[in-house]
Amino acid sequence: MSSADFVTDLPIELRPDPGRTVVRPYAPGADPRAPGTTPEARAGRIAERILAMDEASVAAEVERLLAEYSDRYGCISCVFTRRFHEVNGELIRRCSPGADRALLIGAYFCHEYAYEAAALFNPSIVPHPDQSGVPSDTIRFVLSLRGVGEGHVSSVTFRTGTCRANGALAVDPPSPRSVVPRIEPLADGSSEEAGVRITCDESHDLSECVIFPVTARQRNGIEDLRLLRFAEEDGSAIYYGTYTAYSGQAGRQELLETRDFRTFDLRPLRGDATTSKGLALFPRRIGGRFAALGRQDNETLWFVQSDQIDTWNGGVQVIVPKWPWEFTQMGNCGAPIEIDEGWLVLTHGVGAVRNYGIGACLLDRHDPSKLLARMREPLLRPSPGEHRGYVPNVTYSCGGMVHGRMLVLPYAIADSFATFATVPLDGLLAAMT
């Protein structure tokens, strides 16, 4: 990796692991040879075959399933039984089988998915909600990552770790198992547009939580989560994250909300400033209003404000391409970070051969529509020996964190794996013009 001389690259790499799997809902497709048939008709035939099995065969199948999957998940029998209740009367005709038969029917409407088999990249980092037991010079963090599995489908996975004021960083080893979340519509409605709640309350380790696509608008991926810790004016805090929901045909911006990293609410964002990728929220209100940076023209960065966190319109253009490494387009690399000097914004620029580099700029603290300074050269860019991967020539991040006067910057290389760098703020600001 080619980096500025004041950047320290850390010897940590987070690479994809095909052994990390989660059990997801499954629904069979319709018969392609019979136009007009429905998936429910095929699902019904599957269920009828299970209902026709004798008790001994059902018991043997259940025993085999539990022996195979219990070591990789928590209460896998609970997962299969819960799935039965989801499809009963919806995907299949309503029935009242015994416990084992219900579990077996549920298992047929699940599938195991290796959610980071192909790539693990585009990280963002925030302080962990639990800072108990860490030394005074150390901060515990939550790291989100984009995992890509079969079909180029993206999910969100997590890691935790600690960072000291001198930049020494450690990432906790991930748990060998995953928790299968409960999925339910949000209380304010049952339609996809109302959003969904994903609950991972069986988890004892955040790395066991996986947020995978649930709705039709997310079908092909939940991409590039930009996490932030949002401080309300009364001193309370909540964690938000903006991301791109991709259906396979179109993308839109959606919002993740959590207080404990166990229960996550996901709902769509609205407004003309949410039609492109890369909306990033500011970590507090500005002038009593929510604020964000967007790229609604697909080329430049805009400052947007709103009275509602789920609706974003209009905006003021703030940053336009100026240097060759950002001539094609610019975007943010995560939520703005408040420092003494103003709002530090990590940016990405796209240059020749769609080469992505990471830079930075500084916005006025009181009026973030004013650009104070920016980097002429990128902090990080792919070097000739490190440009290859799932998507060549890309260096990218979805958010950094400042600890003391040190920027902790997780970033991805070639849309393949993630690593870290530390950057002293004084050196970074001195490099801006």
- Angle, helix 76-87 to helix 55-69, in steps of 10 degrees: 120
Q: What is the pLDDT of residue 201?
A: 82
Q: What CA–CA distance (Å, rounded) separates 50 from 47?
A: 5
Q: What CA–CA distance (Å, rounded) separates 310 from 358?
A: 28
Helix (H) or strand (E) segment spanning residue 319: strand 316-319
Q: What is the pLDDT of residue 204?
A: 77
Residues 6 or more apart whose Cβ sits within 8 Å of residue 22:
112, 113, 115, 155, 178, 180, 210, 212
Q: What is the pLDDT of residue 77?
A: 96
Q: Convert the pLDDT of each residue in 362-372 to its tens digit.
A: 999 999 999 99
The low-confidence residues of the chain, meaning pLDDT below 50, are none
- CA angle, residues 317, 318, 323, in degrees to nearest 5: 115
Q: What CA–CA distance (Å, rounded) separates 66 from 20?
A: 18
Q: Are 243 and 258 in contact (CB under 8 A)?
A: no
Structure tokens at 362: 């500084």
Residues 6 or more apart whose Cβ sits within 8 Å of residue 318:
293, 300, 301, 302, 303, 363, 368, 369, 370, 371
C-alpha radius of gyration, the chain, whole number? 23
Q: Are 428 and 134 in contact (CB under 8 A)?
A: no
What domains can you pick out in the chain, each with its CATH number?
2-20+115-430 (2.115.10.20), 23-111 (no CATH)
Q: Convert the pLDDT of each residue in 300-317 to its tens digit.
A: 999 999 999 999 999 999
Q: What is the pLDDT of residue 258?
A: 97
Q: What is the pLDDT of residue 275?
A: 87
Q: What is the pLDDT of residue 324?
A: 97
Q: What is the pLDDT of residue 385?
A: 60
Helix (H) or strand (E) segment spanning residue 83: helix 76-87
Cα torsion at 108, 71, 149, 379 (round to 10°)?
Answer: 150
